[in-house]
Amino acid sequence: MRIAEDRVIVTSPRRNFVTLKLTTEDGTVGWGDATLNGRELAVASYLTDHLCPLLVGRDATRIEDTWQYFYRGAYWRRGPVTMSAIAAVDMALWDIKAKKAQMPLHELLGGKARDRVRVYAHATGATIADTVADVKRLLDAGFTAVRAQTDIPGTEGAYGVSAPGQLYDPAKGTRPQETTWHTPSYLRHAPLMFEAVRDELGYDWDVLHDVHHRLSPLEAAQLGRSVERFSPFWLEDPTPAEDQSAFRTIRAHTTAPIATGEVLNSIWDVNTLITERLVDYVRTTVVHAGGISHLRRIFDLAHLYGVRSGSHGATDLSPISLGCAVHLDATIPNFGIQEYMAHAPETDDVFPHDYRFEAGHLLPGDTPGHGVSLDEEKAARYPYTPAYLPVARLRDGTLHDW
Ligand code: CS2
Ligand code: MG
């Protein structure tokens, strides 16, 4: 069964998305997500200019050979642009294969190990009291796990804080927003937030927190020690993830569970983290870590070492990625938790899907394939607009990790 057509669709229903559509000679369509927040056009070009010319005429059933052809065959390996482009091809081919088998993807992946996938939502607040109220709103909505973030006095534009009731989407504008960061203020303030959510809302739910790459290893160890007594489900991205050895220092000083991986895109980038058990959850995703084929390998390696999945699921990953993630999450033995930021209504309108939210969980659909598509006519109504992620600077102007 040959690939007959390819199409790269850049659309912006509330935010930018890059989507690959592959059509086989018998008219079967597969969809893949290739969205890389703030660098979307780089991936669109990698697909349009380098991969798609090689796709037409290839056997659509040969998913693994195609993956290896684009990974090894590129000579230049890894990185978010390459791996997001390969991921989109991989997702589309799995979608086609499942449709041809007339199975939902979870069946093709070996069948469900669980009927539903536990998710966590994002609570934010300009003040700790606002964050507590937002956590309570989400617990009342049925979530049993909530990520809590709050503004940090002495900084401007702390990570993860949106206006009340607004969707958090940090990428905006034709130049990166400049934010300021002050680690001592953060290390004093974050534990107060943990204490407040526990004092006010108890312990019968899981609190998560995203440090967003901003600490040194010792600072991360200090943070871990200062919040251990509040039983965090995880501290996410405590330090820049590419420095895998930094996690040895964190591990040596604190028992706070650690999660990282959303900015990493191959098994080699998480190999040390997993095999040395330096993390408790690996957050790599279908779109940024080479698709279903490669993410399965990462989760299988993680399973050997007792590391569980905790895939990234922000709104800058399209509903196609979320749909694929829920199918994979439903089938792996070492599922941990799935991030779930509900997409904007206009996004969901452009990306019809069969997964659904119910009582703190996502349930995969049973339509053949991964269950997500793109309405091309509606997508055409939302042209691409440049949108940069912010940058962070220390008080002396030093460029820091955002
Ligand atoms: C964040 C992301 O959801 C998370 O854990 O780290 O929202 C991240 O900031 C964005 O995906 C960046 O595009
Ligand atoms: Mg994160």
> Is pLDDT of 156 > 90?
no
* Mean pLDDT, range 39-53, rounded to an integer: 98
Domain 3-104, CATH homologous superfamily name and number: Enolase-like, N-terminal domain (3.30.390.10)
Please write the tens of the pLDDT for every residue from 320-329.
999 999 999 9
Q: 108-366 has which CATH code?
A: 3.20.20.120
Using pLDDT thresholds of 50, 70 and 90, give the confidence band for residue 148. Answer: very high
Token couple for 78: 């890894």
Q: What is the mean pLDDT of the chain?
A: 97
- pLDDT for 165: 67
- pLDDT for 284: 98
What are the residues whose beta carbon lies below 5 Å from ligand 2 (ion)?
A: 210
Please write the tens of the pLDDT for every residue from 271-289.
999 999 999 999 999 999 9
Distance 57 CA to ligand 2 centre (A): 39
Share of the chain above pLDDT 70, in %: 100
Q: Which protein residue's CA is at the shortest distance from atom 12 of ligand 1?
A: 37
- pLDDT for 166: 75
List the domain boundaries for the chain.
3-104, 108-366
> Is pLDDT of 49 > 80?
yes
Q: Which residues pair with 178 in a beta bridge?
A: 391
Beta carbon of 329 within 6 Å of any ligand 1 atom:
no
Please determine whether the domains at 3-104 and 108-366 fall in the same fold group of CATH. Answer: no
Q: Which atom of ligand 1 is nearest to the CA of 283?
A: 5
Using pLDDT thresholds of 50, 70 and 90, give the confidence band for residue 71. Answer: very high
Beta carbon of 90 within 6 Å of any ligand 1 atom:
no
Distance 169 CA to ligand 1 centre (A): 9
User: In testing the pocket of ligand 1, which one of 312, 388, 401, 402 has its CB within 8 Å of the most ligand atoms?
Assistant: 312
